[in-house]
Homo-oligomer: A and B are copies of this chain.
Amino acid sequence: MFSKKTYTIRRQQLKTQVGNGLILLLGNEESGMNYRDNVYPFRQDSSFLYFFGLDVPGIHAVIDIDNDREVVFGNELTLDDIVWTGPKEPLADKAAQAGITEVKPLNALEGYLANAVNSGREVHFLPPYRAEHSLQLQEWLHIAPAEASARASVTFIKAIVSLRSYKSEEEVAELEKAVNTSVDMHLEFMRSTRPGMTEREVAGRLQSMAIGRGGDVSYPIILTVNGEILHTHTRDLAMQEGQLGLCDAGAETAMHYCGDLTRTIPVGKHFTTLQKEMYQIVLDAQEAAIAACKPGVLFRDVHALASVKLLEGLKQLGVVKGDPAEAVDQDVHTLFFQCGLGHMMGLDVHDMENLGEQYVGYSDELKKGTAFGWKSLRLGRALEPGFVLTVEPGLYLIPTLIDRWKAGKKHADFIDYEKLESLRDFTGIRIEDNLLITETGHRILGKHLPKTIAEIEALR
């Protein structure tokens, strides 16, 4: 936990911004896998951690702005519990460390909320992302599950975004710790991957490093020789000489700050000539994008810049024709780069994604795009000092998508479909680093993680 002062100030700022009413912040519950008591590793809600620091399942919190009360609702262990779970620090003591002096039993929450509702006060809550929260909102506030997201408090959401978007020094230190563990995981990936190993064998090893450092992975590891499948979670293949291995993996610290890095390496000792050419295109795009990151710049424009760089490279290869900038204006790049350049990072690897991407990554003036490619860009707004984000361009050759575009002769003036056939089974490359936006520009977080072709081959 951070200091009592940190949490107290955060809640004070939240109260000031929300103004009035009662804030209900639901903590997460234990989640059963195949029966109630066989639980997944507990993950507390990130906003709950941000304002209360209590990494304990089954507790909730109320910030009663009108009456200036902050109450944590949860049950202390009984003597019977202690027999099974061992002695633990009482909830009241833990809460005191976050500056909370009022702790009530869980069953007092329903009445507290009912009183507020009955006196016509507004109860601010967040859109639920766990079914348990939907059931609780239904039981305690009589909100139908289908309506809960729409009735969530936009004032509350915006207040959280306005606080959590700016990382304090102590948060940056914690994020850097997460990135450093992630760097070590990737060094292990680069050093130990050999032809014949399965994807999951290496992924398991990396996950054990995150666990060993006191946390866990911040998202399911993507480790694949099919890097073009952006959302792949299967890791069953044996990796073969000549293939590319893409690893997108990050650690979470014990305090739940996240890292998120990607590297793409040859499964054998060397990249092939084509792999080198393609890799260099992505690396050039990534370095140009990173160089452009500074306060005031729209990240949407950095995404466009990276997309132009990718098409410039593909033009050198003869796959793309015409003016790259004009091609990006017409969304030609989305055949090769279907996703976004990056996203905010913090207590969530996609920071605050549960609050809504429009609120986190855009603004009242800047709306998230809806076209293919652009709709996957989670962050578009102007960068500000204190933002922490990923920069992760890639080239992805997706046969299904190529076939569809080719059949429709889509953008045939910009794409040489005949040349493109030779890249059809190339798979994918992504290179990703984590940046802090500073007053004057940016800083790449964490220890250096090799990313040039020479550096990578030296580790293989």
Chain A residues with CB under 8 Å of chain B are 31-43, 45-46, 79, 82-87, 129-132, 134-135, 138-139, 145, 198, 200-201, 203-205, 207-212, 214, 219-220, 226, 228-233, 236, 338, 347-350, 353-354, 398, 400-401, 404
Shortest Cβ distance from A44 into B: residue:
B34
Minimum Cβ distance to chain B for residue A55 (Å): 11
Give every chain B residue within 8 A of A139 (Cβ-Cβ).
Answer: 145
Given known pairs A211-B203, A231-B84, the reply for A34 and B45 (CB within 8 Å) is yes
Give every chain B residue within 8 A of A404 (Cβ-Cβ).
Answer: 79
Number of copies: 2
Tell me which of B198, B212, B398 contacts A83 (CB under 8 A): B398
Minimum Cβ distance to chain B for residue A338 (Å): 7
Report the separation of the CA atoms of residues A445 and B204 in the bound assembly, to the nearest whole angstrom: 25
Given known pairs A220-B41, A398-B83, A400-B87, the reply for A204 and B200 (CB within 8 Å) is no
CB <8 Å contact, B401 and A35: no
CB <8 Å contact, A86 and B226: yes
CB <8 Å contact, A40 and B38: no
Tell me which of B35, B45, B207 contacts A354 (CB under 8 A): B35
Report the separation of the CA atoms of residues A36 and B43 in the bound assembly, to the nearest whole angstrom: 13
Report the separation of the CA atoms of residues A233 and B210 in the bound assembly, to the nearest whole angstrom: 16
Most buried by B among A33, A42, A43, A207: A33
CB <8 Å contact, B86 and A348: no
Minimum Cβ distance to chain B for residue A262 (Å): 16
Give every chain B residue within 8 A of A348 (Cβ-Cβ).
Answer: 34-35, 38
Report the separation of the CA atoms of residues A269 and B214 in the bound assembly, to the nearest whole angstrom: 26
Minimum Cβ distance to chain B for residue A245 (Å): 16
CB <8 Å contact, A86 and B232: yes
Report the separation of the CA atoms of residues A207 and B207 in the bound assembly, to the nearest whole angstrom: 9
Given known pairs A38-B219, A349-B38, the reply for A131 and B129 (CB within 8 Å) is no
Shortest Cβ distance from A49 into B: residue:
B34
CB <8 Å contact, B230 and A84: yes
Minimum Cβ distance to chain B for residue A320 (Å): 19
Most buried by B among A79, A229, A404: A229
CB <8 Å contact, A212 and B231: no
Given known pairs A129-B32, A204-B212, the reply for A38 and B353 (CB within 8 Å) is yes
CB <8 Å contact, A400 and B79: yes
Which 4 residue pairs spanning A and B have beta carbons closest together? A204-B211, A131-B131, A204-B208, A86-B229
CB <8 Å contact, B37 and A350: yes
Tell me which of B34, B45, B230 contacts A43 (CB under 8 A): B34
Give every chain B residue within 8 A of A43 (Cβ-Cβ).
Answer: 33-34
Given known pairs A32-B130, A135-B135, A212-B198, the reply for A83 and B400 (CB within 8 Å) is yes
Give every chain B residue within 8 A of A203 (Cβ-Cβ).
Answer: 211
Minimum Cβ distance to chain B for residue A269 (Å): 23
Give every chain B residue within 8 A of A210 (Cβ-Cβ).
Answer: 204
Given known pairs A34-B45, A38-B353, A79-B404, the reply for A132 and B131 (CB within 8 Å) is yes
